[in-house]
Amino acid sequence: MEAPHDSQSTTTDALIERLAQAVHARRMTVPAILFLEAHKPLTSLFHTAAVMSLPMMLPLFGAKARELPAFLQSRDNVERLIRRIEELAGEGGR
């Protein structure tokens, strides 16, 4: 049973990296961190909404739409995304 969890973890890691790189490339570090910190308590609600809207998202976004509910399943993923955005901002310097 470890293999599916590892696969999901790898997918989540890749999603976190893509999102963090996109935020950094657009120089939206501060607004993204503020948004994520403010909405972190609502992660379980967003997870439920993502699961319920998945049938509507699949035709529009394909298989990548399945990554969002998996990402929102844990509040720790949001925290990992925030930390990765901060790391990228630190690497870029001022």
Encoding tokens for residue 80? 């990992």
The per-residue pLDDT for range 28-85, each reduced to its tens digit, is: 999 999 999 999 999 999 999 999 999 999 999 998 899 999 999 999 999 999 999 9
Helix axis angle, 2-25 relative to 29-39, nearest 10°? 140
Alpha-helical (H) ranges within 1-94 are 2-25, 29-39, 43-61, 67-72, 75-92
